[in-house]
A and B are shown apart, each in its own frame.
Chain A
Protein backbone atom coordinates (compact mmCIF):
# COMPACT_ATOMS: atom_id res chain seq x y z
CA UNK A 1 0.00 0.00 0.00
CA UNK A 2 1.33 3.42 -0.94
CA UNK A 3 1.48 5.70 2.10
CA UNK A 4 1.29 9.45 2.21
CA UNK A 5 4.65 11.21 2.44
CA UNK A 6 4.51 13.90 5.14
CA UNK A 7 5.93 17.32 4.30
CA UNK A 8 8.30 19.69 6.08
CA UNK A 9 6.51 21.35 9.01
CA UNK A 10 5.11 18.04 10.28
CA UNK A 11 6.50 17.46 13.81
CA UNK A 12 7.19 13.77 13.13
CA UNK A 13 10.04 14.82 10.83
CA UNK A 14 11.73 16.56 13.75
CA UNK A 15 11.51 13.76 16.31
CA UNK A 16 14.39 11.40 17.10
CA UNK A 17 13.03 8.06 15.92
CA UNK A 18 12.87 5.01 18.21
CA UNK A 19 14.84 1.84 17.52
CA UNK A 20 12.86 -1.14 16.25
CA UNK A 21 12.35 -3.71 19.03
CA UNK A 22 10.27 -6.35 17.29
CA UNK A 23 11.17 -7.81 13.93
CA UNK A 24 7.60 -8.85 13.25
CA UNK A 25 4.93 -8.71 10.57
CA UNK A 26 4.20 -5.11 11.38
CA UNK A 27 7.77 -4.19 10.47
CA UNK A 28 7.52 -6.25 7.27
CA UNK A 29 4.30 -4.47 6.34
CA UNK A 30 5.91 -1.07 7.02
CA UNK A 31 8.89 -1.98 4.81
CA UNK A 32 6.62 -3.29 2.04
CA UNK A 33 4.64 -0.06 2.12
CA UNK A 34 7.80 2.04 2.15
CA UNK A 35 9.05 0.14 -0.90
CA UNK A 36 5.76 0.79 -2.73
CA UNK A 37 5.79 4.44 -1.70
CA UNK A 38 9.39 4.90 -2.80
CA UNK A 39 8.76 3.30 -6.22
CA UNK A 40 5.65 5.41 -6.77
CA UNK A 41 7.44 8.60 -5.75
CA UNK A 42 10.49 7.74 -7.90
CA UNK A 43 12.79 8.64 -5.04
CA UNK A 44 16.27 7.41 -4.07
CA UNK A 45 15.45 6.80 -0.42
CA UNK A 46 12.77 6.98 2.21
CA UNK A 47 12.88 6.98 6.01
CA UNK A 48 10.01 5.76 8.20
CA UNK A 49 9.36 9.24 9.72
CA UNK A 50 8.59 10.44 6.19
CA UNK A 51 5.52 8.17 6.20
CA UNK A 52 4.65 9.32 9.73
CA UNK A 53 6.22 6.38 11.61
CA UNK A 54 8.87 7.38 14.13
CA UNK A 55 11.05 4.26 13.87
CA UNK A 56 14.68 3.79 12.83
CA UNK A 57 13.88 2.22 9.45
CA UNK A 58 15.02 3.42 6.00
CA UNK A 59 15.07 2.12 2.47
CA UNK A 60 17.41 3.21 -0.29
CA UNK A 61 17.08 2.68 -4.05
CA UNK A 62 20.29 3.36 -5.95
CA UNK A 63 22.24 1.86 -8.86
CA UNK A 64 23.97 -0.54 -6.47
CA UNK A 65 20.63 -2.02 -5.52
CA UNK A 66 17.59 -1.77 -3.30
CA UNK A 67 18.39 -1.83 0.43
CA UNK A 68 16.40 -1.94 3.64
CA UNK A 69 18.18 -0.79 6.81
CA UNK A 70 16.71 -1.31 10.27
CA UNK A 71 18.41 0.40 13.28
CA UNK A 72 21.39 1.47 11.12
CA UNK A 73 24.47 3.09 12.65
CA UNK A 74 27.65 4.47 11.10
CA UNK A 75 30.91 2.63 11.85
CA UNK A 76 32.97 5.29 10.12
CA UNK A 77 32.61 8.11 7.60
CA UNK A 78 35.43 9.19 5.24
CA UNK A 79 36.13 11.82 2.61
CA UNK A 80 33.91 14.55 1.33
CA UNK A 81 31.59 15.21 -1.62
CA UNK A 82 29.54 18.29 -2.42
CA UNK A 83 26.49 18.17 -4.66
CA UNK A 84 22.77 18.70 -5.16
CA UNK A 85 20.19 16.95 -3.02
CA UNK A 86 16.41 16.87 -2.79
CA UNK A 87 13.89 15.27 -0.46
CA UNK A 88 10.43 13.73 -0.91
CA UNK A 89 9.36 15.63 2.23
CA UNK A 90 10.54 18.98 0.86
CA UNK A 91 8.71 18.96 -2.43
CA UNK A 92 9.91 21.04 -5.35
CA UNK A 93 13.22 22.19 -3.87
CA UNK A 94 16.87 21.26 -4.03
CA UNK A 95 20.04 22.42 -2.36
CA UNK A 96 23.79 21.84 -2.26
CA UNK A 97 25.00 19.63 0.60
CA UNK A 98 28.46 18.41 1.62
CA UNK A 99 28.51 14.75 2.72
CA UNK A 100 31.13 12.05 3.34
CA UNK A 101 32.14 10.21 0.16
CA UNK A 102 32.41 6.81 1.82
CA UNK A 103 30.59 5.37 4.86
CA UNK A 104 30.41 2.03 6.63
CA UNK A 105 27.12 0.98 8.17
CA UNK A 106 25.96 -1.63 10.63
CA UNK A 107 22.29 -2.53 10.33
CA UNK A 108 19.65 -5.24 10.67
CA UNK A 109 17.39 -6.60 7.92
CA UNK A 110 13.64 -7.11 8.34
CA UNK A 111 14.20 -10.53 9.86
CA UNK A 112 16.57 -9.17 12.52
CA UNK A 113 19.78 -10.45 10.97
CA UNK A 114 22.82 -8.23 11.36
CA UNK A 115 24.91 -6.98 8.41
CA UNK A 116 27.53 -4.40 7.55
CA UNK A 117 28.06 -2.55 4.29
CA UNK A 118 30.26 0.11 2.70
CA UNK A 119 28.57 2.74 0.55
CA UNK A 120 30.36 5.15 -1.80
CA UNK A 121 29.56 8.27 -3.78
CA UNK A 122 25.85 8.81 -4.46
CA UNK A 123 24.95 5.71 -2.45
CA UNK A 124 26.82 7.18 0.55
CA UNK A 125 25.00 10.49 0.06
CA UNK A 126 21.62 8.75 0.03
CA UNK A 127 22.46 6.74 3.15
CA UNK A 128 23.59 9.86 5.06
CA UNK A 129 20.48 11.77 3.97
CA UNK A 130 18.15 8.99 5.16
CA UNK A 131 19.97 8.40 8.44
CA UNK A 132 19.69 12.12 9.22
CA UNK A 133 15.90 11.71 9.01
CA UNK A 134 16.09 9.27 11.94
CA UNK A 135 17.53 12.04 14.10
CA UNK A 136 15.04 14.68 13.01
CA UNK A 137 17.47 16.38 10.60
CA UNK A 138 16.46 17.55 7.12
CA UNK A 139 18.94 18.32 4.35
CA UNK A 140 17.71 21.92 4.34
CA UNK A 141 19.36 22.29 7.77
CA UNK A 142 22.75 21.59 6.18
CA UNK A 143 22.34 22.84 2.65
CA UNK A 144 23.56 25.98 1.05
CA UNK A 145 21.61 27.60 -1.75
CA UNK A 146 18.22 25.87 -1.36
CA UNK A 147 16.09 26.88 -4.30
CA UNK A 148 12.92 25.91 -6.12
CA UNK A 149 13.44 23.35 -8.90
CA UNK A 150 12.41 24.43 -12.39
Chain B
Protein backbone atom coordinates (compact mmCIF):
# COMPACT_ATOMS: atom_id res chain seq x y z
CA UNK B 1 0.00 0.00 0.00
CA UNK B 2 1.21 3.49 -0.80
CA UNK B 3 2.47 5.19 2.36
CA UNK B 4 0.79 8.49 1.39
CA UNK B 5 -2.62 7.12 0.39
CA UNK B 6 -4.36 7.22 3.79
CA UNK B 7 -2.92 10.63 4.76
CA UNK B 8 -4.09 11.89 1.37
CA UNK B 9 -7.63 10.57 1.81
CA UNK B 10 -8.07 11.95 5.32
CA UNK B 11 -6.47 15.32 4.58
CA UNK B 12 -8.70 15.68 1.53
CA UNK B 13 -11.72 15.23 3.80
CA UNK B 14 -10.43 17.93 6.17
CA UNK B 15 -8.88 20.49 3.82
CA UNK B 16 -11.05 19.84 0.78
CA UNK B 17 -14.42 19.03 2.27
CA UNK B 18 -14.19 20.86 5.60
CA UNK B 19 -14.67 17.77 7.78
CA UNK B 20 -13.46 18.03 11.37
CA UNK B 21 -10.12 16.26 11.79
CA UNK B 22 -11.27 14.10 14.70
CA UNK B 23 -14.23 12.84 12.67
CA UNK B 24 -12.20 12.27 9.49
CA UNK B 25 -9.59 10.35 11.49
CA UNK B 26 -12.21 7.84 12.58
CA UNK B 27 -12.52 6.89 8.88
CA UNK B 28 -8.93 5.68 8.62
CA UNK B 29 -8.79 2.19 7.05
CA UNK B 30 -5.27 1.06 7.89
CA UNK B 31 -4.70 -1.31 10.77
CA UNK B 32 -1.30 0.10 11.68
CA UNK B 33 -1.94 3.81 11.27
CA UNK B 34 0.66 5.40 13.53
CA UNK B 35 2.67 6.92 10.71
CA UNK B 36 -0.41 8.10 8.80
CA UNK B 37 -1.75 9.88 11.89
CA UNK B 38 1.64 11.50 12.40
CA UNK B 39 1.68 12.72 8.80
CA UNK B 40 -1.90 14.00 8.98
CA UNK B 41 -1.29 16.01 12.18
CA UNK B 42 2.06 17.22 10.92
CA UNK B 43 0.74 18.46 7.58
CA UNK B 44 -1.94 20.46 9.41
CA UNK B 45 0.39 21.76 12.14
CA UNK B 46 2.96 22.93 9.59
CA UNK B 47 0.42 24.01 6.97
CA UNK B 48 1.75 27.55 6.55
CA UNK B 49 5.40 26.62 6.43
CA UNK B 50 4.77 23.82 3.94
CA UNK B 51 2.78 26.23 1.80
CA UNK B 52 5.86 28.45 1.66
CA UNK B 53 7.98 25.43 0.78
CA UNK B 54 5.69 24.62 -2.17
CA UNK B 55 5.84 28.24 -3.38
CA UNK B 56 9.63 28.06 -3.36
CA UNK B 57 9.58 25.00 -5.62
CA UNK B 58 6.90 25.75 -8.26
CA UNK B 59 6.34 28.44 -10.88
CA UNK B 60 2.58 28.17 -10.74
CA UNK B 61 0.45 26.99 -7.82
CA UNK B 62 -0.66 23.38 -8.49
CA UNK B 63 -4.19 22.01 -8.47
CA UNK B 64 -5.53 20.91 -5.07
CA UNK B 65 -4.80 17.16 -5.39
CA UNK B 66 -1.22 17.81 -6.39
CA UNK B 67 -0.80 20.48 -3.70
CA UNK B 68 -1.90 17.89 -1.14
CA UNK B 69 0.59 15.33 -2.46
CA UNK B 70 3.34 17.99 -2.23
CA UNK B 71 2.31 18.86 1.33
CA UNK B 72 2.49 15.22 2.43
CA UNK B 73 5.79 14.55 0.67
CA UNK B 74 7.45 17.75 1.92
CA UNK B 75 6.30 17.12 5.50
CA UNK B 76 7.63 13.56 5.33
CA UNK B 77 11.02 14.71 4.08
CA UNK B 78 11.49 17.84 6.20
CA UNK B 79 9.88 16.80 9.47
CA UNK B 80 9.96 12.99 9.51
CA UNK B 81 13.36 12.43 7.90
CA UNK B 82 11.85 10.21 5.24
CA UNK B 83 14.55 9.66 2.60
CA UNK B 84 13.84 11.85 -0.40
CA UNK B 85 13.82 8.95 -2.92
CA UNK B 86 11.12 7.18 -0.91
CA UNK B 87 9.02 10.33 -0.59
CA UNK B 88 9.38 11.04 -4.30
CA UNK B 89 8.54 7.44 -5.19
CA UNK B 90 5.42 7.38 -3.01
CA UNK B 91 4.28 10.79 -4.28
CA UNK B 92 4.72 9.83 -7.94
CA UNK B 93 2.99 6.48 -7.45
CA UNK B 94 0.11 8.15 -5.62
CA UNK B 95 -0.25 10.67 -8.45
CA UNK B 96 -0.56 7.76 -10.87
CA UNK B 97 -2.91 5.81 -8.60
CA UNK B 98 -5.18 8.87 -8.54
CA UNK B 99 -5.35 8.71 -12.35
CA UNK B 100 -3.27 11.84 -12.83
CA UNK B 101 -0.54 10.09 -14.83
CA UNK B 102 0.22 13.13 -16.94
CA UNK B 103 1.14 15.07 -13.78
CA UNK B 104 3.50 12.40 -12.47
CA UNK B 105 6.59 13.86 -14.22
CA UNK B 106 5.75 17.29 -12.76
CA UNK B 107 5.40 15.88 -9.22
CA UNK B 108 8.67 14.01 -9.72
CA UNK B 109 10.55 17.06 -11.00
CA UNK B 110 9.31 19.43 -8.27
CA UNK B 111 10.04 17.08 -5.39
CA UNK B 112 13.46 16.09 -6.73
CA UNK B 113 14.61 19.70 -7.03
CA UNK B 114 12.86 21.07 -3.94
CA UNK B 115 15.46 22.67 -1.67
CA UNK B 116 14.39 23.40 1.93
CA UNK B 117 17.26 25.88 2.28
CA UNK B 118 15.48 28.18 -0.20
CA UNK B 119 12.34 28.52 1.90
CA UNK B 120 12.03 31.93 3.55
CA UNK B 121 9.56 32.59 6.35
CA UNK B 122 8.52 36.15 7.18
CA UNK B 123 9.17 37.65 10.61
CA UNK B 124 6.71 39.23 13.02
CA UNK B 125 2.96 38.73 12.93
CA UNK B 126 2.92 37.37 9.38
CA UNK B 127 5.53 34.80 10.42
CA UNK B 128 3.53 33.80 13.47
CA UNK B 129 0.41 33.42 11.31
CA UNK B 130 2.33 31.05 9.06
CA UNK B 131 3.90 29.05 11.85
CA UNK B 132 0.78 28.80 14.03
CA UNK B 133 -1.92 28.70 11.29
CA UNK B 134 -3.99 31.14 13.35
CA UNK B 135 -5.77 33.92 11.46
CA UNK B 136 -4.19 37.37 11.67
CA UNK B 137 -6.83 38.81 14.02
CA UNK B 138 -6.10 36.12 16.62
CA UNK B 139 -2.33 36.56 16.26
CA UNK B 140 -2.69 40.32 16.76
CA UNK B 141 -4.91 39.87 19.80
CA UNK B 142 -2.45 37.44 21.43
CA UNK B 143 0.55 39.65 20.63
CA UNK B 144 -1.26 42.67 22.04
CA UNK B 145 -2.18 40.82 25.21
CA UNK B 146 0.82 38.61 25.88
CA UNK B 147 3.66 40.15 23.83
CA UNK B 148 6.45 37.70 23.02
CA UNK B 149 4.64 34.89 24.79
CA UNK B 150 2.09 34.85 21.95
CA UNK B 151 4.48 32.69 19.95
CA UNK B 152 4.56 29.95 22.58
CA UNK B 153 0.81 30.20 23.20
CA UNK B 154 -0.09 29.78 19.54
CA UNK B 155 2.49 27.19 18.50
CA UNK B 156 2.22 24.74 21.40
CA UNK B 157 1.82 21.18 20.14
CA UNK B 158 0.04 18.33 21.84
CA UNK B 159 2.07 16.54 24.49
CA UNK B 160 -0.07 13.43 24.18
CA UNK B 161 -3.42 12.13 25.27
CA UNK B 162 -4.96 13.18 28.59
CA UNK B 163 -6.48 10.29 30.50
CA UNK B 164 -8.64 10.72 33.61
CA UNK B 165 -8.78 7.57 35.72
CA UNK B 166 -11.61 6.59 38.01
CA UNK B 167 -9.77 3.45 39.11
CA UNK B 168 -6.86 1.22 38.15
CA UNK B 169 -4.38 3.96 37.19
CA UNK B 170 -1.52 2.04 38.84
CA UNK B 171 -1.64 -0.49 35.98
CA UNK B 172 -0.80 2.16 33.39
CA UNK B 173 1.70 4.44 35.09
CA UNK B 174 4.79 2.47 34.06
CA UNK B 175 4.37 4.01 30.59
CA UNK B 176 5.88 7.41 29.76
CA UNK B 177 3.55 10.09 31.06
CA UNK B 178 3.34 13.57 32.55
CA UNK B 179 1.66 14.28 35.87
CA UNK B 180 -0.97 17.01 35.97
CA UNK B 181 -1.98 18.96 39.08
CA UNK B 182 -5.15 16.83 39.26
CA UNK B 183 -5.35 13.45 41.00
CA UNK B 184 -5.83 10.58 38.56
CA UNK B 185 -5.23 12.77 35.49
CA UNK B 186 -2.14 12.10 33.35
CA UNK B 187 -0.88 12.95 29.89
CA UNK B 188 0.40 9.90 28.03
CA UNK B 189 2.67 10.04 25.01
CA UNK B 190 0.94 6.94 23.65
CA UNK B 191 -2.24 5.38 24.94
CA UNK B 192 -4.38 2.88 23.11
CA UNK B 193 -7.77 2.32 24.66
CA UNK B 194 -8.50 -1.17 25.94
CA UNK B 195 -11.45 -3.01 27.48
CA UNK B 196 -11.19 -0.99 30.68
CA UNK B 197 -12.27 2.08 28.74
CA UNK B 198 -15.65 0.43 28.23
CA UNK B 199 -16.00 -0.58 31.88
CA UNK B 200 -15.52 3.07 32.84
CA UNK B 201 -12.14 2.71 34.55
CA UNK B 202 -10.89 5.76 32.69
CA UNK B 203 -11.88 8.29 30.09
CA UNK B 204 -10.19 10.74 27.74
CA UNK B 205 -10.75 14.30 28.87
CA UNK B 206 -8.75 17.46 28.32
CA UNK B 207 -6.91 18.71 31.37
CA UNK B 208 -8.63 22.06 30.62
CA UNK B 209 -12.01 20.42 31.00
CA UNK B 210 -10.95 18.92 34.35
CA UNK B 211 -9.71 22.38 35.41
CA UNK B 212 -13.08 23.98 34.57
CA UNK B 213 -14.86 21.32 36.65
CA UNK B 214 -12.47 21.90 39.55
CA UNK B 215 -13.79 25.42 40.11
CA UNK B 216 -17.42 24.21 40.28
CA UNK B 217 -18.60 23.92 43.90
CA UNK B 218 -20.31 20.70 44.98
CA UNK B 219 -24.06 21.37 45.08
CA UNK B 220 -27.51 19.78 45.09
CA UNK B 221 -28.75 20.42 41.56
CA UNK B 222 -26.45 21.37 38.71
CA UNK B 223 -27.36 22.25 35.14
CA UNK B 224 -24.79 21.67 32.40
CA UNK B 225 -26.36 23.82 29.69
CA UNK B 226 -24.22 22.72 26.70
CA UNK B 227 -23.18 19.29 27.84
CA UNK B 228 -22.19 17.16 24.84
CA UNK B 229 -20.21 15.00 24.60
CA UNK B 230 -20.68 14.86 28.38
CA UNK B 231 -17.21 14.80 29.92
CA UNK B 232 -17.86 17.66 32.34
CA UNK B 233 -21.32 16.35 33.31
CA UNK B 234 -19.80 12.97 34.14
CA UNK B 235 -17.08 14.50 36.29
CA UNK B 236 -19.49 16.90 38.01
CA UNK B 237 -21.93 14.07 38.76
CA UNK B 238 -19.28 12.75 41.14
CA UNK B 239 -19.52 15.87 43.28
CA UNK B 240 -23.10 17.10 42.78
CA UNK B 241 -26.20 15.30 43.93
CA UNK B 242 -27.99 15.67 40.59
CA UNK B 243 -26.77 16.81 37.18
CA UNK B 244 -29.07 17.80 34.33
CA UNK B 245 -27.19 17.65 31.02
CA UNK B 246 -28.74 19.71 28.22
CA UNK B 247 -27.80 19.54 24.57
CA UNK B 248 -29.34 21.02 21.45
CA UNK B 249 -28.49 18.36 18.86
CA UNK B 250 -30.21 14.95 19.11
CA UNK B 251 -27.21 12.87 17.97
CA UNK B 252 -25.02 14.64 20.50
CA UNK B 253 -27.64 14.10 23.21
CA UNK B 254 -27.22 10.37 22.62
CA UNK B 255 -23.48 10.70 23.17
CA UNK B 256 -24.10 12.03 26.68
CA UNK B 257 -26.39 9.10 27.52
CA UNK B 258 -23.74 6.66 26.30
CA UNK B 259 -21.06 8.48 28.26
CA UNK B 260 -23.16 8.32 31.47
CA UNK B 261 -23.79 4.61 30.93
CA UNK B 262 -20.13 3.83 30.28
CA UNK B 263 -18.96 5.68 33.39
CA UNK B 264 -21.80 4.34 35.57
CA UNK B 265 -23.37 7.75 36.25
CA UNK B 266 -26.79 7.27 37.86
CA UNK B 267 -27.53 10.78 39.07
CA UNK B 268 -27.44 12.37 35.62
CA UNK B 269 -30.39 13.28 33.43
CA UNK B 270 -30.05 14.00 29.72
CA UNK B 271 -32.31 16.54 28.10
CA UNK B 272 -32.51 17.72 24.50
CA UNK B 273 -33.10 21.42 24.76
CA UNK B 274 -32.05 24.77 23.29
CA UNK B 275 -30.31 26.66 26.07
CA UNK B 276 -31.02 30.00 24.41
CA UNK B 277 -34.76 29.44 24.91
CA UNK B 278 -36.26 30.08 28.36
CA UNK B 279 -37.84 27.10 30.17
CA UNK B 280 -40.16 28.36 32.88
CA UNK B 281 -39.79 25.19 34.99
CA UNK B 282 -36.03 25.83 35.22
CA UNK B 283 -36.41 29.35 36.64
CA UNK B 284 -34.28 29.59 39.80
CA UNK B 285 -34.26 25.79 39.93
CA UNK B 286 -30.48 25.11 40.11
CA UNK B 287 -27.81 25.71 42.73
CA UNK B 288 -25.22 25.69 40.01
CA UNK B 289 -25.42 26.33 36.26
CA UNK B 290 -22.48 25.69 33.94
CA UNK B 291 -22.55 27.41 30.55
CA UNK B 292 -19.72 25.76 28.62
CA UNK B 293 -20.81 27.49 25.45
CA UNK B 294 -20.10 26.59 21.81
CA UNK B 295 -16.95 28.48 20.92
CA UNK B 296 -14.19 28.87 18.36
CA UNK B 297 -12.19 26.07 19.97
CA UNK B 298 -9.06 28.19 19.43
CA UNK B 299 -7.79 26.96 22.79
CA UNK B 300 -7.70 23.38 21.54
CA UNK B 301 -5.42 23.96 18.55
CA UNK B 302 -2.72 21.72 20.01
CA UNK B 303 -5.17 18.82 19.81
CA UNK B 304 -7.06 20.03 16.76
CA UNK B 305 -4.61 21.69 14.36
CA UNK B 306 -7.41 21.95 11.78
CA UNK B 307 -9.39 24.44 13.87
CA UNK B 308 -7.28 27.63 13.64
CA UNK B 309 -6.63 26.78 10.01
CA UNK B 310 -10.22 26.31 8.92
CA UNK B 311 -12.02 28.89 11.10
CA UNK B 312 -11.91 32.59 10.29
CA UNK B 313 -13.00 35.75 12.10
CA UNK B 314 -16.50 35.66 10.61
CA UNK B 315 -17.00 32.16 11.96
CA UNK B 316 -15.89 33.27 15.43
CA UNK B 317 -17.98 36.42 15.40
CA UNK B 318 -21.08 34.49 14.39
CA UNK B 319 -20.76 32.44 17.60
CA UNK B 320 -20.71 35.44 19.90
CA UNK B 321 -24.46 36.25 19.92
CA UNK B 322 -25.18 32.56 20.65
CA UNK B 323 -22.73 32.57 23.58
CA UNK B 324 -24.31 35.75 25.00
CA UNK B 325 -27.83 34.38 24.54
CA UNK B 326 -27.07 31.11 26.35
CA UNK B 327 -25.41 32.90 29.27
CA UNK B 328 -28.19 35.45 29.58
CA UNK B 329 -30.94 32.84 29.44
CA UNK B 330 -29.30 30.34 31.77
CA UNK B 331 -28.56 33.05 34.34
CA UNK B 332 -32.29 32.94 35.07
CA UNK B 333 -32.05 29.29 36.12
CA UNK B 334 -29.70 30.05 39.03
CA UNK B 335 -31.23 30.07 42.50
CA UNK B 336 -30.57 33.08 44.67
CA UNK B 337 -27.22 32.43 46.36
CA UNK B 338 -26.32 29.88 43.68
CA UNK B 339 -23.52 30.03 41.15
CA UNK B 340 -23.29 30.60 37.43
CA UNK B 341 -20.17 29.33 35.66
CA UNK B 342 -19.14 30.46 32.22
CA UNK B 343 -16.55 28.43 30.34
CA UNK B 344 -15.04 28.09 26.86
CA UNK B 345 -12.15 26.36 25.17
CA UNK B 346 -11.06 29.67 23.67
CA UNK B 347 -8.21 32.10 24.25
CA UNK B 348 -10.03 35.09 22.75
CA UNK B 349 -11.17 37.83 25.09
CA UNK B 350 -14.29 38.51 23.02
CA UNK B 351 -15.51 34.96 23.79
CA UNK B 352 -14.43 35.05 27.43
CA UNK B 353 -14.21 38.07 29.75
CA UNK B 354 -16.22 40.24 27.36
CA UNK B 355 -19.18 37.86 27.62
CA UNK B 356 -19.05 37.95 31.42
CA UNK B 357 -18.71 41.74 31.41
CA UNK B 358 -21.86 42.06 29.29
CA UNK B 359 -23.83 39.79 31.59
CA UNK B 360 -22.71 41.67 34.70
CA UNK B 361 -23.71 44.94 33.13
CA UNK B 362 -27.23 43.74 32.33
CA UNK B 363 -27.59 41.71 35.50
CA UNK B 364 -26.61 43.52 38.70
CA UNK B 365 -27.87 40.41 40.53
CA UNK B 366 -24.60 38.62 39.85
CA UNK B 367 -21.20 39.17 41.41
CA UNK B 368 -17.92 37.78 40.06
CA UNK B 369 -16.21 35.42 42.51
CA UNK B 370 -12.50 35.07 43.01
CA UNK B 371 -11.46 31.55 42.07
CA UNK B 372 -8.22 29.65 41.94
CA UNK B 373 -7.06 26.49 40.24
CA UNK B 374 -3.95 24.32 40.60
CA UNK B 375 -3.51 24.28 36.80
CA UNK B 376 -1.30 27.18 35.70
CA UNK B 377 -3.42 30.14 34.59
CA UNK B 378 -3.62 33.90 34.07
CA UNK B 379 -6.10 35.81 36.19
CA UNK B 380 -8.30 37.99 33.97
CA UNK B 381 -10.71 40.68 35.12
CA UNK B 382 -13.47 38.16 35.86
CA UNK B 383 -12.06 34.65 35.54
CA UNK B 384 -9.13 32.38 34.83
CA UNK B 385 -7.51 31.97 31.45
CA UNK B 386 -5.57 28.73 30.95
CA UNK B 387 -3.01 29.07 28.18
CA UNK B 388 -1.69 26.24 26.00
CA UNK B 389 2.01 26.84 26.64
CA UNK B 390 1.70 26.33 30.40
CA UNK B 391 -1.45 24.20 30.72
CA UNK B 392 -0.59 21.04 28.76
CA UNK B 393 -1.90 22.57 25.54
CA UNK B 394 -5.31 23.57 26.95
CA UNK B 395 -6.42 27.16 26.25
CA UNK B 396 -9.60 27.16 28.34
CA UNK B 397 -11.43 29.89 30.25
CA UNK B 398 -13.72 29.81 33.28
CA UNK B 399 -15.46 32.42 35.43
CA UNK B 400 -17.68 32.02 38.47
CA UNK B 401 -20.52 34.42 39.32
CA UNK B 402 -22.73 34.27 42.39
CA UNK B 403 -26.35 35.32 42.35
CA UNK B 404 -27.01 37.61 45.28
CA UNK B 405 -29.19 36.03 47.95
Contacts and interface: CB of A to CB of B under 8 A. Distances in A.
B371 interface: no
Nearest to B88: A65
A62 interface: yes
B378 to A, nearest CB: 44
Contacts of B82: 39
Interface string A38-72: 01000000000000000000000111111000000
B85 A35 contact: no
Nearest to A39: B86
Interface in B89-143: 89
B405 interface: no
Secondary structure call for the B interface: loop
B183 interface: no
A1 interface: yes
Interface residues of B, number: 9
A1 B32 contact: yes
B86 A66 contact: yes
Nearest to B87: A66
Contacts of A61: 83, 85-86
Nearest to B1: A32
A65 B82 CA distance: 13
A57 B5 CA distance: 24
A39 B35 CA distance: 13
A116 B192 CA distance: 46
A62 B86 CA distance: 9
B83 A39 contact: yes
Contacts of B88: 65-66
Contacts of B3: 35
Nearest to B86: A66
Nearest to B32: A1
B1 A66 contact: no
A32 B1 CA distance: 7
A3 B216 CA distance: 52
B1 to A, nearest CB: 6
B32 A65 contact: no
A65 B108 CA distance: 10
Nearest to B85: A66
Given A1-B32, A32-B1, A64 B85 contact: yes
A65 B85 contact: yes
A49 to B, nearest CB: 22
A32 B30 CA distance: 14
Scoring B1, B85, B88 by chain A CB atoms within 10 A of each residue's CB, the highest score goes to B85
Nearest to A2: B32
Contacts of A66: 83, 85-86, 88-89
Interface string B3-39: 1000000000000000000000000000010000000
Interface in B179-204: none
Nearest to A32: B1
A32 B4 CA distance: 13
B1 A65 contact: no
B175 to A, nearest CB: 21
Contacts of B83: 39, 61, 66
A64 B83 CA distance: 11
Interface string B58-97: 0000000000000000000000001101101100000000
A21 B82 CA distance: 32
B120 to A, nearest CB: 26
Nearest to A60: B85
A63 B82 CA distance: 13
B85 A63 contact: yes
Nearest to B90: A66
Interface string A94-106: 0000000000000
Interface of B: 1, 3, 32, 82-83, 85-86, 88-89
Interface of A: 1, 32, 35, 39, 61-66
12 contacts: A1-B32, A35-B3, A35-B86, A39-B82, A39-B86, A61-B85, A61-B86, A64-B85, A65-B89, A66-B85, A66-B86, A66-B89
